[in-house]
Structure 1
Amino acid sequence: MAVSGRDAFRSELTSIAHRDGRVVCLEAWSLYRDHPFEAAHPDRFFSLPAGGPVLAQMVKGLVAAGFRPFVVVGPGGTAPGRAVGNRWLWRACVEAGATVVLPPEGSGEGSVEVRQKTCVPLCAPCGEEETRAVVRQVARSRRPYCLVLGDGPGPSWPYRPNGTGDEVPLVAQESGVLARTGARLVSVGEAGTRLALAARATAPGLGHAHLVYLDEVRLAAAAAELASWPGPSVVTAAAWMLEEVLRALRARTPGHAVSGVLAPSREGQADVAGVLAAVAAFKGP
């Protein structure tokens, strides 16, 4: 059974907290059930569904005391009627030194500001193994991150670490080596990766590059890496990610045709025909 990004995060963070007594989890979300972190480390778990300024102050105090806080924001935000991923809240937490976890449906509101903070990586990992690797990478780092994680089962992405370490690469490749001719798919996020995998199941000859980082600096570096590969690209991503990835690729892959296909957020609605049509459009009549 596929594990959701949130569940993979909770499990991995709980394991890390066994080894690192500085790790603290704060959930600004009242809908959690049987949280493994709370069961294992009740003295370092806080549920603050209406946190707001109180949550931000707690983060400042925890960081000042030498702890590593992870703040989880869920659907519906931190108060009834408030937008998911309230900008003031997550910005205050990130600036205080916390890693913030946002749901895909609310990440667009704050993602512009995250992308402009060059010291804050914005990650949208896909699948259990890649999500766990990102969490381990965050735990090793001294900087805050912003993670976008879903609550539903993610697609089974064949994650491979970068080199011999556990670092998540800027550009991951599904089949080891991207095809050096023809069109390639560039997937982002769970919805985009699900669509790309469905398209490759129909057309296995397509190359597939997968991106995890969406902040300005790392997205630009990923685009520069993709520029070394000839051929056009078809980007598959959810709405809030698609335009930014298209903009980055078009700016940094001169001479390469780039188009995009919007990936539906719900499983079972993959527009494979739309992806194949976009690929075919590069070939001309």
Structure 2
Amino acid sequence: MSILYLVGTPIGNLEDITYRAVRTLTEADYIFCEDTRVTAKLCQHYQIQTPLKSYHEHNKDKSSEQILKLLEEGKQVALVSDAGCPCISDPGYELVNQARENDYRVETIPGPNAAITALMTSGLPSYKFVFLGFLPRHAKEKNEVLQKWMGRESTSMIYESPYRIKQTVRAIAEIDPERKVAIGRELTKKFEQVETNQIEIIEQMLEDATIPQKGEFVILIEGVDEASQEIHWWEGIDLNQHVETYINEHDMSSKDAIKQVALDRKMKKRDVYESYHVQE
């Protein structure tokens, strides 16, 4: 039977893989992976001899065609990422849709995830959380995403590279210098580190290399307790002034400002739009 397997793999420690995952990778006809050199190390460790083929952001369309042809021939194909679960901040969901549209079976073999691992260790609230993946690189877009989600109750989970970790932490501190955050790096590896503290202290730890800029990072931002937020910065100004503040002080378009005001005040965007444009 043709099956597309989505297989979770270790995020660091090679022992963090299930018996089912090893069996699936062993029995599959082909393993498609981000970097064949990375997956080859895992296969060598578990004596898996299944042929490896590449599937990544730059060749996913061509590779998807190849995978669908193999499924048409009755083959069993496993898809993995370099670390963690395929399709999570990695390409793959388009392939899953194509496989389903062609009535091929899709089976998931779950495994480790860096964001969840960090959340478990951080001590931050874990009943509500939102995964944001990698933030936009440009400062304006990054700040808009942070402004939007830091006003929610949910703990926000972000992936970041060692090259941009300081800039992202600074952006969080500028929005709320009192906010509690956690930084996780080298998760499940020998030098695993998870630090939870106020953002300004975390920022200083990055500056003095108490938190080295090495490895891939997970940033967790504690959500706000909305029940205790009785006073908002925009209370005392009317709806239209609220919109104008975002336009003039945050360099937002009127469309984005209206959307943000609707989120702030828990209103329908249409009502804010009509109120703002009536004054014109």
Shorter-normalised TM-score: what interval? 0.3 to 0.5
TM-score by length of 2: 0.36
TM-score by length of 1: 0.35
Which of structures 1 and 2 has the bigger CA Rg?
A: 2
